[in-house]
Amino acid sequence: MFATQQHKLTSFNEFLLLNQEPLTKTKGNYSLILNYIQDCCKTISGYVRNIGLADLLGYNTSLNASGDLMAKLDVFANSVFGKAFKNSKLLYAFASEEDETITYLNKDSSYILSIDPIDGSKQSQIHLPSGSIFCLYKKTKDNQLSTGNIVCAGYCLYSSATVLLYVDKVRSALFLLDSATGNFFLAKENLKLPDKGTDYSVNEAYINDFYDKDKTYLNKLKQQKYSLRYVGTLVADMHRTILQGGVFLYPFTKTNQTGKLRVVFEILPFSFIINKLGGKVKTSATKIKLSNKTVHNKADFMAGSIKELNYY
């Protein structure tokens, strides 16, 4: 506990247990799933911070399902989440961005968990921000995934602090990892995206491939003196957008008409988060079938403050 704190801090565990029942109508499995997620994030945070010492720098020769070279940290982080969930009966299905296929576990469970174990692993090689993204869906009869059947979503940002954002249908909360106790403690509750920001976030290296509508949009923002902020890690760029407002976009381009961001692991979780926090989202990916054929599909994504999205 912080010696200087005047008041008792609320841990993530306490936060989950408070008012759990009305929200999830389950006996404990929900909190257990979220506890496993937080424990995985704590473990990964420790290794991200010691990547050069724990021999996790560098890449394997294998490619993941999205065709990206797998960093050693990708493999490690994927094994951390895999060990936590593939040996449990808590989930109907477990999908990881680093796994080729979906792992089906317990037909009597109604939970589907999607994980991006390390978003921005390239950045972590040089100690720049990275993150883990989680999204818990309720199984539906038509086997579809959409923001409508998301129970909760969030991320863990590994940056100058280790920050856990949790958003469910009725609550949102930001936690900071306290290195002294190893607990995530509540830092902010009921987050609300600012209606307007000062930054736009896009990789402008592709500007010549952008469609005219996107080029026009970016010029409009520049004329209004917006600043460009782009980390190159989705979790970091979205964390800034959530706290300070503004807009992030990764559009289709003339040479990349499938997009870069993954629907299941990035677009649906962040669509849920941004909408719940009072922001706005534009994407062609609102629903996707839970199947090995579609689980790694990509799409376009734009999200942020209402004001900036309404300029589009």
Which residues contact ligand P6P (rule: CB under 6 A)? 119-120, 203, 232-234, 260
> How many beta carbons lie within 10 A of that of residue 9, not counting itself?
17
- Provide the 8-state DSSP code for 81: H
Q: Between 11 and 240, whose beta carbon lies closer to ligand P6P?
A: 240
**Residue 308 backbone phi and psi in degrees, to 5:** -70, -40
Instruction: Write down the least CB distance from residue 1 to ligand P6P, Å.
Output: 34
Q: Between 134 and 185, whose beta carbon lies closer to ligand P6P?
A: 134
Instruction: Write down the least CB distance from residue 183 to ligand P6P, Å.
Output: 27
**Residue 118 backbone phi and psi in degrees, to 5:** -140, 110
Amino acid at 85: F
Instruction: Write down the least CB distance from residue 215 to ligand P6P, Å.
Output: 17
Q: Between 80 and 133, whose beta carbon lies closer to ligand P6P?
A: 133
Q: Between 74 and 308, whose beta carbon lies closer to ligand P6P?
A: 74
Amino acid at 149: N
Instruction: Write down the least CB distance from residue 31 to ligand P6P, Å.
Output: 29
Q: Between 145 and 238, whose beta carbon lies closer to ligand P6P?
A: 238
Distance CA 79, CA 38 (A): 15
Q: Between 233 and 283, whose beta carbon lies closer to ligand P6P?
A: 233
Q: Between 90 and 156, whose beta carbon lies closer to ligand P6P?
A: 156
Distance CA 56, CA 79 (A): 13
The enclosing H or E element of 239 equals helix 234-244
Q: Token pair for residue 223?
A: 């004329």
Instruction: Write down the least CB distance from residue 310 to ligand P6P, Å.
Output: 23
Nearest Cα residue to 263 out of 283, 235, 280, 239: 283
Distance CA 122, CA 125 (A): 6
User: Which letter, b or e, does each residue of 193-223 get, where b requires 16 or more Cβ atoms within 10 Å of its Cβ?
Assistant: bbeebebbbbeeebeeebeeebeebbeebee
Query: Distances from the Cα of 194 to the Cαs of 148, 186, 245, 304, in angstroms?
Result: 24, 20, 5, 9
Instruction: Write down the least CB distance from residue 260 to ligand P6P, Å.
Output: 5
> How many beta carbons lie within 10 A of that of residue 11, not counting itself?
18
Instruction: Write down the least CB distance from residue 5 to ligand P6P, Å.
Output: 34
> How many beta carbons lie within 10 A of that of residue 179, not counting itself?
12
Instruction: Write down the least CB distance from residue 202 to ligand P6P, Å.
Output: 8
Q: Between 104 and 206, whose beta carbon lies closer to ligand P6P?
A: 206
